Amino acid sequence: MASVDSTGLSVSGRLRSGDLLHIGLILVLLLGAWGVGGLEVSTGKVSSIEAMNGSTVLLPCTYSSCIGIKNLYFNWKYNDNGTFLKLCEAEIPTEKVEPKVHVFHERVEFVGSSKTNNISILLWNITFEDEGEYTCFARNPKEKNRNHSAIFTLIVVDQMKEVDNTLTVIIVSVLGGVIGLVILIMVIKAVVLHVLHKGNEKTKECLVSSSGNDNTENGLSGAKADNKATPKA
């Protein structure tokens, strides 16, 4: 028979509740660790690109996994109004081993490498019909077939838009004007200080010369007065 505490609750029941709580916490931690180290694919910081009709574009994609890979499967697909057309696919046996890529589109070229976890492709001589969403997909059997995908959007244009640099030119011009004004003020200040310094030196020279002349004249006057005051023998 289960013991009962002062509150009337079964001790064994409380123990079972505590065990369930611990199990739940362990599962959450395990799932969190699994999610952090799981497979991820990425098309980079920019998920779209504008390209001119007739040019060649790179559709970037890389994969990462803290656990590692084994027989990693990947493919590229194009979303053609809801119909996904497979462009290429391959399987990477293990890390640093290059895959044998099967290409299903005549203008697609695989340019990635397992040495850099890169599964990017090139699309040659694009047309307006190539505009749309491209999906990079990967699946890792080593992580119980965990899979992940990323979408890259291609926009095809007749001509590239001209970048309006008016604001940049205005900012650079203002900064240049301010810097030039500061330099001009510094030069004028230096010239004025130099002129004032020269003027002070000349003033000092004049004062010294005048003082010397006054002393000489006072000396001569005193000598004459002494001569006049001397009595005749």
Look at residue 198 in the predicted model and tell me its pLDDT. 75
Look at residue 111 in the predicted model and tell me its pLDDT. 98
53 to each of 45, 50, 86, 194, 211, how far by Cα in Å? 24, 10, 22, 66, 92
Report which of 42, 65, 75 is spatially closest to residue 150, judged by C-alpha positions: 42
> Helix, strand, or coil here: 50?
strand
Number of structural domains in the chain: 1
192 to each of 189, 197, 202, 204, how far by Cα in Å? 5, 8, 15, 18
Looking at 111-120, 121-130, 176-185, which range is the least confident one? Answer: 176-185
In a domain, 107, yes or no: yes
How far apart are the C-alpha atoms of 66 and 39, rounded to whole Å?
8
In a domain, 62, yes or no: yes
List of residues 6+ apart from 16 with CB closer than 8 A: none
In a domain, 50, yes or no: yes
Where residue 121 sits, what CATH number does that domain have?
A: 2.60.40.10
In a domain, 165, yes or no: no
Rounded to 5 degrees, φ, ψ at 132 are 145, -160
C-alpha of 29 from chain center = 33
Look at residue 27 in the predicted model and tell me its pLDDT. 54
Domain of 93, in residue numbers: 40-157
Q: Which long-range contacts (CB under 8 A, 24 or more apart) does 191-194 make?
A: none
How far apart are the C-alpha atoms of 44 and 70, rounded to whole Å?
23
In a domain, 68, yes or no: yes
Q: What is the pLDDT of residues 25-83, one digit of tens each?
A: 555 445 544 445 699 999 999 999 999 999 999 999 999 999 999 999 999 999 999 99
In a domain, 127, yes or no: yes
Looking at 30-34, 92-96, 181-185, which range is the least confident one? Answer: 30-34
In a domain, 153, yes or no: yes
What's the mean pLDDT when you consider all of the chain? Answer: 81
In a domain, 120, yes or no: yes
Whether residue 231 is predicted with pLDDT greater than 80 in this model: the reply is no
